[in-house]
A and B are shown apart, each in its own frame.
Chain A
């Protein structure tokens, strides 16, 4: 389709609003702490929406309904695991990291690693490089999602769509840091939630309603309405679902662009309700999107909707479902803004993470310890910009299914960071050498098993990242037990032990 003037006006207004927030936020940036963790000033709702917005991504609107369209009910577990990842992140990582960071003035998770494992350069550098690498992969998936929307809306080529989307996100992230990212995410989150709650029921009704859609799916294939699949060639088998659930819940929780948010909250008491509130809000959105994907099966099979002849056609199902359900051009424009909001809320956070990890952990802490705050801030802005360029080049050739690329990113984050974080926070015997081995082998083996899975060299019964996770876990245990433990003083200062919090 080609854009009508009204749609162009709506999308342009959205872009202008985002830039305006960036300009407003840029006035608040006085130091690296302001840029990276918004000076630890985020209130309850801005913090809660930042957590939701960081996990709500291109996968939410396009991939989730695309996967539901392709594999139906056995994929429903994604709807529980992703909203739960916010709670997991806060409860198992956030409560402790926040308390330690308040005492020690941390800006990034690498600051924690450096202190807990007494590795100012080795582990910090490895973790920052791994964080940047996985964020780049994940970011490429997000840009693909942005271009899907812009291509559909404006009928422009993929590369122009990519460039346009990236330019806006880069602009407000570069100038406004986490202030801009958090406040734009609040706006984007509200747009996403209200939009999906209004629009998804129309798509489902256009296919005959929720019960009728399920009956239709069941008549096509009775296995498609079961909570898992089985038999020859089944993808979402119970064992695969378990690995998928663990991957999404823990992998997203320890993803660099998610976990770093916990350092930016103004008050530790937010950790009381944010897990449940975020689970409910995002859970409702995720379920509605998945049900829209199911409805898409009816719409396509009955010839009501025709998907475009592109290799990632299933990712277009929600977009085309909405286009069918709404004849009003105003609503199409609003819808385009909703999708852009979802995608951009993750994209900006990822870019800021890359910028911070490079400027703070690599440049300031390893390469130029004497660099002034101003210089580091400048390097940070240049890194955010460079991250956009690198990712754009990666996203120019999108994979068959957007969601697989994003999963690969989460899987690698899971295999790389889960073990050093969990062991660091909860196991007093975990050592620097153990953490380096776990991180390096987790990352390496996730890449190897990811390659085996992607190139179909062998059929893996569980998600590839689980192999990486267990290799990381094994190496952490073995290497830690073979090396000298850290001093009691360091372990006490970093609140290491088998507890989540101690209340005096």
Chain B
């Protein structure tokens, strides 16, 4: 795919997805503080 070996797609794509999920979990677990 995209002229790239599978390992590149898997490793780079996996890393992007992992970071995205971790940051999303951070946001979803945030409890609002009073300003």
Contact = CB atoms under 8 A, between A and B. Distances in A.
A206 B9 CA distance: 23
Interface in A73-105: 73, 76-77, 80, 84, 87, 91
A273 B11 CA distance: 26
Contacts of A84: 19
Per DSSP, chain A at the interface is: helix
Interface string A213-245: 111011000000111000000000000000000
B16 A271 contact: no
A211 interface: yes
Contacts of A331: none
Contacts of A268: 33, 35
Contacts of A493: none
A102 to B, nearest CB: 10
A370 interface: no
Contact of A80 (B19, B26, B27): B19
A275 B26 contact: yes
Contacts of A444: none
Interface in B1-35: 2-5, 7-8, 11-12, 15-16, 19-20, 23-24, 26-27, 30-33, 35
A82 to B, nearest CB: 12
Interface residues of A, number: 31
Contacts of B4: 73, 214, 218, 225
B5 to A, nearest CB: 6
Contact of A225 (B5, B15, B24): B5
A503 interface: yes
Contacts of A266: 35
Contacts of B12: 76, 227
A275 B16 contact: no
Given A80-B16, A214-B4, A276 B23 contact: yes
A273 B29 CA distance: 11
9 contacts: A87-B26, A91-B26, A212-B3, A215-B3, A226-B8, A269-B33, A276-B23, A279-B23, A503-B31
Interface of A: 73, 76-77, 80, 84, 87, 91, 210-215, 217-218, 225-227, 266-269, 271-273, 275-276, 279-280, 283, 503
Given A214-B3, A276-B27, A280-B20, 5 more contacts: A91-B26, A213-B3, A215-B3, A226-B7, A275-B27
Interface of B: 2-5, 7-8, 11-12, 15-16, 19-20, 23-24, 26-27, 30-33, 35
Nearest 10 interchain pairs by C-beta = A214-B3, A215-B3, A272-B30, A276-B23, A211-B3, A503-B31, A227-B11, A267-B35, A275-B23, A211-B2
